[in-house]
Amino acid sequence: MAGMDIYKPLVALLAIVNPVGVVPFFIHFTSGLSRAERKHTIRVSAFTAFVVIAVSSILGLKVIEFFGISLASFQVGGGTLLLISSIQMLNAQPAESRKEDLSEGVDKASAGASIAVVPLTIPLLTGPATISTMVIYADKTRHWWELAVLVGYGVVVGLVTFAVFSMAGRIARALGQTGINIMTRLMGLILAALAVELLADGLIKLFPVLASHIGN
């Protein structure tokens, strides 16, 4: 990662995680909690988001190597997943959410599992698209400090999540559902552009002949 490229993972992460788009879900899932319980939920959600990003950055490559998957194939798959996520966001749906995931999360919450982890952090905030992004960018690192920067971006995402969830009530009142939908669509558009870039890079690695055609 060189020059301004080092900021691309952070842009991608903020677009995918998009805490503002998850605010309505946060309000819904924490509506029955006390103020202290809600604060605890915010802390756990923010920390879990950081852990998912950090672990994906440090161990993600080792995991795909263990399964014998080429990075180019993973990059194409990850880029496709990001593109699907961006399409969901352009339809004003959280990037990582699916109806079955949400219902499953509600069941776990009612059974006593922590809603801070499921469904708020996984899959609403972080999930396959987030993990794919970190693995792809981790492969682009050439120095230990670049990997440390990726982990640091996990801290940034955690802090942003903490700040947004802490102001959830005010954000929801200020933006309204329409404003949140607009924000989600804007982030989806940014994510779509990044997804196409990752897809193109992966396809060129798999099929080098494409590079000559693109050059022409």
Q: Is residue 93 over pLDDT 80? A: no
pLDDT in tens, 26-48: 887 787 788 888 888 999 999 99
Print burial letters for 123-149: b (CB count within 10 Å at least 16), e (below 16).
bbbbbbbbbbbbbbbbebbeeeebbeb
Q: Angle, nearest 10°, between helix axes 71-90 and 128-139? A: 140
**The pLDDT of residue 109:** 42
DSSP string computed for 20-42: HHHHHHHHHHTTTS-HHHHHHHH
Domain ranges for the chain: 7-206
Higher pLDDT, 185 or 94: 185
What pLDDT band is residue 5 in, cutting at 50, 70 and 90? confident
Residue-averaged pLDDT of the chain: 82
What pLDDT band is residue 94 in, cutting at 50, 70 and 90? low
Section 70-79 average pLDDT = 83
pLDDT in tens, 150-206: 999 999 999 999 999 999 989 888 988 888 888 888 888 888 888 888 888 888 888
Q: Is residue 145 over pLDDT 60? A: yes
